[in-house]
């Protein structure tokens, strides 16, 4: 799997300004910042110089390795490394796994000037223990020469001799932007009153289809402000359904009108039956009557059905007007509202008519989950388990340990799980907007899931429930293909059960499921593509799963 940059790691010799630049970069990205030397000193309760003097360099390097390993586990963090840390290949390897390693360079005489002559520049003036003593400039030269081969092993180098702190920080951010293809979804955490707000900002592929996903309690009331910040204005058609609009319509209307938008609510009947061309046409009629123009926008307030329908209308009306997604179901918050797939069903198949059309903004207010029917909520958790299983082991562990808190909608747990899932979806679609490759892994559990839904005429299972059965089947296949340990497959099953999700089915013929699966649009060149697990958090796409093995798994699943 491609390396993903989730942290920025700054190294370089003393006097190149690692700590101060790290803080500046973190502030400009809205990321956390950590300085390994500060952490070591803080934990030991002594300055670095004292650790060196009392315990020796070897002990210091040991402490440093521990701290480096620990901070590398973080995400969206700018890490300032001590100047000697990268010399140890173990540290380099650990930080490079998910970090962009940047070296701040300076000529020896610049470093001498900053460290010993108090000359202005990016460097701090603390003299490192290895540089203390006589003949300091000679020591700088020698030590720097010794480390140079390690400094050369980085992703990016910024020469700091003629730059100030702001200039160096801007170069680091530029490097991060240039390494975009390796970049993970950009996640910013901002304060929002008393409640912590997660702002997941996903630079989905190339501008101008770059948009932010805001996740925070109470955000519905800030919708107008957020939209105005983006430069949106004029008439806003709020498309919603008759279960959601009575709950949140007034708040959305107030939030928009207080920022000067003219609001035109358009409320459609709830349910998948509304996601069709006939309702798209009625929506166009309404928009024509309301004289909606190119510069106006559509707000999709509701679950995935509303998001897909309103998105399709926004994509096609006047060849495309601005779309803002305000998802209110869990499925829509973590999946449907992100990635730009919009569309309607055809009598002969689901989602057969549609487009890729990115929203301008996604505003996720998990407070809306409070009114979502319990079964819909459980179904949504299946998608979150899916993200953990295919991509994020840590999320999977959290789901295993906090299922009850999540089902009870405990705020902190929910915001963490929703923001993290949204960021995963953002990152995957950022890499593969049109489902040519990576996005395929989002179909984990969907081959059997779609088969079950279709075989039962979309009446017995909610989508997430069918996907839960499908994930159980996919994990069994992974195990039988020799990819996944049996214990991991069982763990996934336990987690799904804790969310009250089914892991098998009854009353449906295996033959019917197979037939429906093989008709599925994801069958390519006669063979089904299976998303399987190599481990929890690691997925792989395989075409070589024997049909008999699939039949065997379906037989096992059909025992309930
Ligand atoms: N575009 C994509 O990438 C994508 C991804 C996944 C699913 N989808 C589509 O999304 C749809 C499924 O989404 P869904 O599960 O949200 O279904 P949905 O939109 O039909 O919502 C489910 C039910 O919950 C109600 N509801 C939603 N939010 C509520 C709230 N906060 N309070 C009270 N009731 C609420 C709705 O009125 C509806 O009755 C399907 O059409 C599917 O094809 C699209």
Confirm whether pTM is higher than 0.75.
Answer: no
Which residues, in sequence order, are bridge partners of residue 440? Answer: none
> According to the 3-state scheme, what is the secondary structure of 51-101?
HHHHHHHHHHHHHHHHHHHHHHCCCCEEEECCCCHHHCHHHHHHHHCCEEE
Ligand 1 binding pocket mutation candidate from 313, 314, 329, 470 (most atoms within 8 A of CB): 329
pLDDT computed for residue 190 by the predictor: 37
pLDDT of the residue at 135? 75
Query: Can you read off the two tokens belonging to residue 112?
Result: 């001498």
Ligand 1: centre distance to CA 256 (Å): 23
| 342 CA closest ligand 1 atom index | 1
Q: Which domains does the chain carry?
A: 7-183 (3.40.50.300), 193-426 (3.40.50.1970), 444-557 (1.20.1090.10)
Question: Which residues, in sequence order, are CB contacts of 87 under 8 Å at separation 6+?
Answer: 146, 147, 150
| Residue 310 Cβ < 6 Å to ligand 1 | no
- Tell how far the Cα of 337 is from the centroid of ligand 1, in angstroms: 10
Ligand 1: does its nearest atom lie under 6 Å from the Cβ of 376? yes
To test the pocket of ligand 1, the residue of 267, 268, 302 to mutate (highest count of ligand atoms within 8 Å of its CB) is: 302
The per-residue pLDDT for 424 is: 86
φ, ψ of residue 159 to 5 degrees: the values are -85, 120
Neighbours of 426 (CB within 10 A): 25
Q: Is the CB of 290 under 6 A from ligand 1?
A: no
Q: Helices 547-557 and 510-519 sit at what angle, rounded to 10 degrees?
A: 130
Write out the H or E segment, with its range, that includes residue 315. helix 304-316
Per residue of the chain (560 residues), what is the pLDDT tens digit?
446 778 899 999 988 999 999 988 887 776 778 899 988 988 888 888 888 889 988 999 999 999 999 998 887 789 999 888 999 999 999 998 889 999 999 998 888 887 776 655 554 444 466 666 667 778 888 888 889 988 988 999 999 999 988 899 999 988 887 775 555 443 333 333 333 445 555 445 445 567 888 888 888 988 998 899 889 999 999 999 999 999 999 999 999 999 999 999 999 999 999 999 999 999 999 999 999 999 999 999 999 999 999 999 999 999 999 999 999 999 999 999 998 999 999 998 889 999 999 999 999 999 999 999 999 999 999 999 999 999 999 899 999 999 999 999 998 889 889 988 988 888 788 776 666 667 889 999 999 999 999 999 988 999 999 999 999 999 999 999 999 999 999 999 999 999 999 999 999 999 999 998 887 655 555 568 899 999 999 999 999 999 999 999 999 999 97
CB of residue 304 inside a 6 A radius of ligand 1: yes
Out of 332, 382, 432, 470, mutate this one to test ligand 1's pocket (max ligand atoms within 8 Å of CB): namely 332
Which residues carry out catalysis?
A: 319, 341, 383, 425, 435, 439, 443, 446, 450, 463
Neighbours of 226 (CB within 10 A): 17
**Adjacent-strand bridge partners of 468:** none
Residue 306 alpha carbon, nearest atom of ligand 1: 19
Cis amide linkage into residue 208, ω under 30° from 0: yes
- Tell whether ligand 1 has an atom less than 6 A from the beta carbon of residue 371: yes
Write phi, then psi, for 435 (nearest 5 degrees): 55, 45
Ligand 1 close to Cβ of residue 244 (< 6 A): yes
Cβ–Cβ under 8 Å, residues 240 and 234 = no
Sequence-distant (6+) residues with CB within 8 A of 348 are: none
The answer, yes or no, to whether any atom of ligand 1 lies below 6 A from the CB of 270, is yes
What is the spatial distance between Cα 73 and Cα 80, in angstroms, rounded to a whole number?
Answer: 14
Whether residue 301 has its Cβ less than 6 Å from ligand 1: no
Give percent helix, percent strand, percent coil of the chain, each to the nearest 5: 50, 20, 30
**Could you tell me the distance, in angstroms and rounded to a whole number, from the CA of residue 380 to the centre of ligand 1?**
9
Q: How far apart are CA 533 and CA 544, in angstroms?
A: 14
**Bridge partners, residue 439, by sequence:** none
């Amino acid at each position: 799997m491609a390396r993903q940059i989730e942290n920025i790691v700054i190294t370089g010799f003393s006097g190149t300004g690692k700590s101060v630049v790290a803080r500046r970069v973190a502030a400009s990205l809205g990321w956390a910042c950590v300085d390994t030397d500060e952490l070591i000193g803080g934990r030991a309760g002594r300055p670095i110089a004292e650790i060196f003097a009392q315990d020796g360099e070897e002990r210091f390097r040991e402490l440093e390795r521990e701290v480096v390993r620990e901070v590398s586990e973080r995400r969206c963090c700018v890490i300032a490394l001590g100047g000697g840390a990268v010399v140890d290949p173990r540290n380099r390897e650990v930080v490079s796994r998910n970090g962009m390693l940047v070296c701040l360079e300076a000529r020896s005489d610049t470093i001498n000037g900053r460290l010993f002559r108090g000359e202005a520049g990016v460097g701090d003036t603390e003299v490192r223990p290895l540089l203390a003593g006589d003949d300091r400039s000679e020591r700088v030269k020698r030590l720097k020469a010794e480390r140079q081969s390690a400094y050369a092993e980085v992703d990016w180098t910024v020469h700091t001799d003629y730059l100030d702190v702001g200039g160096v920080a801007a170069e680091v951010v530029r490097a991060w932007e240039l390494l975009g293809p390796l970049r993970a979804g950009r996640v910013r955490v901002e304060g929002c009153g008393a409640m912590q707000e997660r702002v997941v900002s996903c630079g989905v592929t190339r501008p101008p289809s770059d948009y932010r996903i805001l996740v925070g309690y109470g955000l519905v009331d800030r919708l107008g402000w957020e939209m105005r910040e983006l430069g949106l204005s004029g008439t806003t058609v709020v498309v919603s359904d008759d279960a959601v609009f009575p709950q949140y319509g007034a708040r959305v209307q107030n939030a928009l009108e207080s920022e000067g938008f003219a609001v035109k609510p358009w409320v459609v009947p709830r349910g998948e039956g509304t996601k069709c061309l006939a309702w798209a046409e009625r929506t166009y009629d309404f928009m024509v009557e309301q004289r909606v123009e190119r510069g106006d926008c559509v707000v999709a307030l509701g679950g995935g059905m509303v998001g897909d329908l309103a998105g399709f209308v926004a994509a096609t009306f006047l060849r495309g007007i601005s779309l803002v997604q305000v998802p209110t179901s869990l499925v829509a918050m973590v999946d449907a509202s992100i990635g730009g797939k919009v569309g309607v069903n055809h009598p002969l198949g689901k989602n057969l008519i549609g487009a890729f059309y990115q929203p301008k903004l996604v505003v996720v207010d998990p407070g809306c989950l409070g009114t979502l029917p319990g079964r819909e909520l459980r179904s949504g958790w299946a998608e979150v388990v899916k993200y953990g299983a295919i991509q994020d082991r840590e999320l999977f562990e959290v789901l295993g340990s906090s299922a009850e808190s999540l089902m009870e909608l405990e705020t902190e747990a929910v915001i963490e799980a929703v923001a993290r899932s949204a960021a995963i979806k953002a990152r995957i679609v950022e890499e593969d907007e049109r489902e040519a490759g990576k996005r395929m892994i989002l179909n984990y559990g969907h081959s059997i899931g779609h088969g079950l839904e279709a075989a039962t005429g979309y009446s017995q299972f909610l989508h997430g429930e069918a996907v839960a059965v499908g994930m159980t089947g996919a994990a069994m296949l992974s195990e039988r293909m020799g990819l996944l340990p049996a214990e991991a497959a069982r763990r996934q099953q336990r987690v799904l059960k804790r969310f009250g999700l089914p892991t098998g089915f009854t009353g449906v013929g295996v033959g019917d499921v197979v037939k429906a699966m093989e008709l599925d649009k994801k069958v390519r060149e006669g063979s089904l593509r299976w998303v399987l697990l190599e481990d929890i958090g690691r997925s792989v796409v395989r075409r070589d799963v024997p049909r008999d093995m699939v039949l065997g798994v379906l037989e096992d699943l059909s025992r309930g």
